[in-house]
Amino acid sequence: MGRIDGKTVVVTGAARGMGAAFAQRLVSEGASVVITDVLTEEGKRTAARLGDAALFVPHDVTDESAWNDVVVQAESAFGPVSGLVNNAGIVHVDPIETLAEADYRKVIDVNQVGVFLGMKAVVGSMRRAGGGSIVNISSVGGIIGFSNILGYTASKWAVRGMTKTAAQEFGPMGIRVNSVHPGVVMTEMTSDSARSNSMFHDQPLARPGTPEELANLVLFLISDESGYSTGSEFVADGGFTSH
């Protein structure tokens, strides 16, 4: 028996990296997973690798109608949605003085508005499922500030607050909402910068995290094992924010 047998979970930004690791871990413990991403070919390959328990749906998280389509396809393939991992995110590096408004708004649209639309889209399906769990992937950048990534930091702080508001609204429906705050994590996209990143050198665990370590935390939050946790931050940063 798996830890989340019978659950239907949507994971955004899951074509590769942490999202793909989340999907793989959830499938390994009995869930059916809808993988969404704008990276169509990589998304298809990830779903194919995970087998019949995975479905890929091309998806722009900033498009409300696309969110509604994801929920329809999830219910048609596997049944009502009982889990959502809002993982899709982008970053743009620029000092505030030269940061273009369009670049700032793009980050906010994906990282913040996308999370709002996702939570809104799944509520009805989660009611039909008898409850559920939403995991919003924030960052240590949602707990402390970092220079040159204003949009990213603003959006990740917003996700932290949105999580708490949603937890209060959704709790009476049997829907839990928590945020996860990774530090430096080694993925295909971040491998070079992660190896050279000075962030983790002075932290208690002086190494980058792995997608699998974050996936174990996401699994716990999607599962009923975390049934009394909602509106909370779960930090996985090797102790970086303990200073």
Q: Is 152 a catalytic site residue?
A: yes
Contact 186, 209 (CB under 8 A): yes
Sequential DSSP letters for 133-195:
EEEEE--GGGTS--TTBHHHHHHHHHHHHHHHHHHHHHGGGTEEEEEEEE-SB--TTTHHHHH
The helix (run of H) or strand (run of E) holding residue 55 is strand 54-58
Contact 58, 37 (CB under 8 A): yes
Q: Which of 152, 200, 234, 240 is catalytic?
A: 152
Taking the CB of residue 104, how many other CB atoms lie within 10 A of it? Answer: 18
End-to-end Cα spacing for the chain: 40
Q: Pairing mode, if any, of strands 233-236 and 8-12?
A: unpaired
Strand partners, 54: 33
DSSP single-letter state for residue 110 = I
Residue 122 buriedness (CB in 10 A; 0-12 / 13-18 / 19+):
buried
Query: CA-to-CA distance for 98 and 64, rounded, in angstroms?
Result: 31
The residues annotated with a catalytic role in the active site are 152
